[in-house]
Amino acid sequence: MGLLDGKKLVITGVLTDASLAFGVARMAQQEGADIVLTGAGRGLKLTQRTARKLGPNPSGDAVDVFELDVTVPEHGDSVRAAVDAKWGHVDGVLHAIGFAPEVCLGDDFMAAQWDDVAIAMHISTYSLKMLADTFVPLMGPGGSFVGLDFDNQQAWPAYNWMGVAKSALQSVNRYLAKELGPKGIRSNLVAAGPIKTMAAKSIPGFKLFEDTWDGRAPLGWDVTDSEPVARAVLALLSDWFPATTGEIVHVDGGYHAVGA
């Protein structure tokens, strides 16, 4: 019996098989869940191609890919209608969406203007609320939103405005937990250590994290192994954390807990 037997999950953020969300999607199927993926813009074709690497769902259906640009409200309506027609309900949603213009990252925090920052905040932060708008109508008690996060208790080299957006994401998570709790729906984040993904390649100075994380994390850290992150996400999507919401679960080898 799988941890997620019979669950219906929406997985965002799958671009390639190196995506953190891909690891979640594959393991969710192994644990008995049927999934659909979403993609947007030029990445939609990548998502469709990568979906074929997952194979059929436990129910035997192929993995559908729906277009969902979180900056287009109409996409939320169309995806909700499509998922409603397919399943009639949703048990869980993974938020693995983030983007910031190049000027928002790097050595110069002051270089980004509001128009740039607004894009980062809209796609990386407000999108969690947009997913709630889209899928809460299909959820009942026991539903779960889980977002991928990077802890921002302190400033990081080069992360800049994406770090600000992630801090705001943590706040949105808490307010969603407050808002959705009376419906029996949970909202939590998984703060992952650095993993080599397509998104990571876009962050200047990412190699600095690679070089230092393993040595400082009490449990060690493998930047090529996304399985610990996927396991935490699936646990929060399952029924095993029925009274946990508004939480940030660190899956980083313990790095966040120790000083330099």
Which domains occur in the chain, in start order? 8-257 (3.40.50.720)
- The residues pairing with 11 across neighbouring beta strands, listed in sequence order, are 37, 94
In 3D space, the residue among 195, 214, 201, 204 whose CA is nearest the CA of residue 253 turns out to be 214
Confidence of residue 237 (pLDDT cuts 50, 70, 90): very high
Residues 6 or more apart whose Cβ sits within 8 Å of residue 74: none
Q: Please report, in angstroms and rounded to a whole number, the separation of the first and last CA atoms in the chain.
A: 43
Q: Which residues pair with 148 in a beta bridge?
A: 190
Q: What is the pLDDT of residue 212?
A: 79
Where does the pLDDT of residue 201 fall: very low under 50, low under 70, confident under 90, or very high at 90 and above?
Answer: low
pTM over 0.85: yes
Residue 200 has pLDDT above 60, yes or no: no
Please write the tens of the pLDDT for every residue from 37-61: 999 998 999 999 999 999 999 999 9
| DSSP 3-state of 149 | strand
Instruction: Say if residues 174 and 128 touch (Cβ distance below 8 Å).
Output: no
Of 140, 12, 135, 33, nearest to 78 (Cα)?
A: 135
Residue 259 has what pLDDT?
A: 76
- Measured distance CA(91)–CA(138) in Å, rounded: 8
Nearest CA to 51 among 61, 37, 68?
37
Q: Contact 133/151 with Cβ under 8 angstroms?
A: no
Average pLDDT on 188-213 reads 75
pLDDT attached to residue 214:
82
pLDDT at 156: 86
Strands ordered across the beta sheet of 34-39: 65-67, 34-39, 8-11, 92-95, 144-149, 186-192, 248-251
Q: Per residue in 138-188, pLDDT tens?
A: 999 999 999 999 988 889 888 999 999 999 999 999 999 999 999 999 999
Euclidean distance between CA atoms 156 and 193, whole angstroms: 13
pLDDT at 260: 65
Q: How many whole angstroms separate alpha carbon 113 and alpha carbon 79?
A: 32
| pLDDT over 80 (residue 199) | no
State the chain's mean pLDDT as an integer. 94
Instruction: Read off the pLDDT band of 204 (50, 70, 90).
Output: low
d(CA 196, CA 20): 9
